[in-house]
Amino acid sequence: MVRSTSLRARLMIVILVPLVLISLLAGFWRFTAARSTSELLFDRTLVALTLAIARDVVVSGGDALSPATLDLMRDTSGGGLFYHVNGPDGVFLTGYAYPPAMPIDFKAVTNVPVLFEAVYRGGAVRVARLSEMVTFDGVSGYSTVTVWQSMAAREAFALQLALRAALVMGLLIVTVGGVVWFGVNIGLRPLIELEGAIATRSPDDLSVIRRRVPVEVSGIVDILNTLFGEVSRAIVTRNRFISDAAHQMRNPVAGILSMAVAARDAPSEAERRSRSGELVEAARHASRLTQQLLSFERVRGLADKNRFQREDLTDLVRGVCRRNVARCFENGVELAFEDHAADCPVAVLADRVMLREAVQNLIDNALAHAGPENTAIEVSVAVEGAHASVTVRDFGRGLAVDQIETAFERFGQLDGGEGSGLGLAIVKETARQHGGVLAAVPVEPGASFTISLPVSGPDPEEPRM
């Protein structure tokens, strides 16, 4: 038996893999949103500080910053802030002496804070710049306030927010995984208990499983119960067949033994020849019975329909009739074959050997049980709709309606004749294995048996005309 991935592992994969993918997408979105949020917050802080410094420069005449602005600079998150202030005449007033240079392609505006990115001492920084008209000591001109901060602080802040979100999602995945694991164990417990109950059964216990199981598993249990029932019936049938076969073989074997002893102890050569002839007939009867037993078992084993082939039913039945013409003539019986489907081929899916033997058994049955008044046997093939039929009729003593069921049973004997009692049982089982039926058709005089089989569709490999 090839083992596949366990049901528990499949459920874990089906549930957790989509959850992990969604978590990764959510984490990426959270990092992007955190970066956007941090940029907005830090940019607003830079703009606020730039406006505050510009106001203090105007108020103090460029000498110093107010305590409130200095406190704001110290309380700002994300690392240190740097600033630089130029007076109206371009003279450095306060702050750091060398501010980051504005990009060449950046368009400067006045009276409005502008933001851009630059490089300061080898590191990326975010810069806020404000140029506005001021007057110091009678000198008027544009004063420029530049405030900048390292970009690393922003990235660290965004990464911190993303890591917190990832931690929450990771805990959620672990929690869901644990819940799923224990939930699956609880859900699979009925299956495990069912497996244990079946494993503890003895090989001979084919009784119905009555354990309560979930609805999802009830179908499997029903199939198992059906299988157990079929196996149980097959075993009972096989045991009954073996018992019947042993009973049927006991008398012929005992007869052969007694005839052999009589032939050995015959007082004269003529008597020995007579006893030997009876011994040969008894051995022939036993051989026929054995062959019928083997045939019955073989036809019951035709469950594999893949080995069936398309057969022309008319040719098959005609061939059986040809082989029996001489035999029927020796018994004073005329054998006739009629093809009622001459206008079209009659194709059926069948085991050629067993179907041929079924027709042979019907002819043997007519010869053996129709009685001395029978003078003819008619064999015909016909097609009606989707079914083809083979009919074997005799004109002998006939078969009463209340005798049909007995005639179809295994070892069924109606007149205590020399037959094995398996002929019609083999025909019936052969018809069933081929998807058809065997029926006894009331006729006067004689008896008529018909095998009905489904007609096979056209062979795709046959050339079309």
Mean pLDDT of 274-286: 74
Kindly report the backbone phi and psi dihedral angles of residue 377, in degrees, each rounded to the nearest multiple of 5, phi listed first: -130, 125
- Please, which residues have CB within 8 angstroms of residue 274's CB and are 6 or more apart in sequence? 266
The token pair that represents 164 in the structure block: 């917190």
**pLDDT score for 460:** 44
CA 243, 249, 254, 255 torsion: positive or negative?
Answer: positive
Global pTM reads 0.46
Judge whether 176 and 15 are in contact, CB under 8 Å: yes
Contact (Cβ atoms closer than 8 angstroms) between residue 107 and residue 60: no
Q: What is the DSSP letter of 90?
A: S
Decide: 313 and 453 in contact? Cβ < 8 Å.
yes
Contact 420/288 with Cβ under 8 angstroms? Answer: yes
Span 184-211, average pLDDT: 78
Does the pLDDT at position 58 exceed 80?
Answer: no
| Interatomic CA distance for residues 300 and 1, integer angstroms | 27
| Contact status, residue 413 vs residue 425, Cβ threshold 8 Å | no
With cut-offs at 50, 70 and 90, classify the pLDDT of residue 42: confident
C-alpha 229/C-alpha 237 separation (Å) is 12
Residue 167 pLDDT: 86
pLDDT at 452 > cutoff 80? yes
Q: What percent of the chain stands above pLDDT 90?
A: 3
In this structure, which amino acid lies at residue 321?
A: C
Half-sphere exposure of 325 (CA within 13 A, CB side): 8
Check residue 300 and give its pLDDT: 58
Look at the alpha carbons of 110, 113, 115, 121 in this order and tell me if their dihedral is positive or negative. Answer: positive
Q: Are 421 and 248 in contact (CB under 8 A)?
A: yes
Residue-wise pLDDT tens digits, 114-128: 889 898 888 888 899
Q: Using CA atoms, how far apart are residues 399 and 421, in angstroms rounded to an integer? A: 15
**How far apart are the C-alpha atoms of 101 and 90, rounded to whole Å?**
15
Residue 443 main-chain phi, psi, to 5 deg: -140, 160
| Residue showing tokens 């196996």 | 231
Taking the CA atoms of residue 452, residue 457, residue 459 and residue 463 in that order, the dihedral angle to the nearest 10 degrees is 120
Look at strands 448-454 and 437-441 and give their pairing: antiparallel
pLDDT tens for residues 399-423? Answer: 777 676 766 676 556 555 555 566 7
Neighbours of 397 (CB within 10 A): 17
Cα radius of gyration rounded to whole Å, the chain: 51
Look at 68 and 300; give whichever has higher pLDDT.
Answer: 68
Please indicate whether residue 3 or residue 170 has the higher confidence score (pLDDT).
Answer: 170
Higher-scoring residue by pLDDT: 239, 361 = 361
Among the listed residues 277, 285, 219, 199, the one whose alpha carbon sits nearest the alpha carbon of residue 249? 285
For residue 106, give the amino acid letter: F
Q: Is 47 helix (H, G, I), strand (E, B) or coil?
A: helix
Count other C-beta atoms under 10 Å from residue 279's C-beta: 20
CA pair distance 146, 125, nearest whole angstrom: 12
pLDDT digits (tens, 9 = 90+) for 229-260: 888 877 776 776 666 566 556 656 776 777 78
For the chain, count helices (H), then strands (E): 9, 12
Which amino acid type is present at position 56?
D
Q: What are residue 395's DSSP bridge partners?
A: none
| pLDDT bucket at 391, cuts 50 / 70 / 90 | very high
Q: Residue for token digits 């035999």?
A: 327
DSSP 307: G
311: its two tokens:
């057969």
Q: How confident is the model at residue 292 (pLDDT cuts 50, 70, 90)?
A: low
Segment 379-390, tens digit of pLDDT = 999 988 888 999
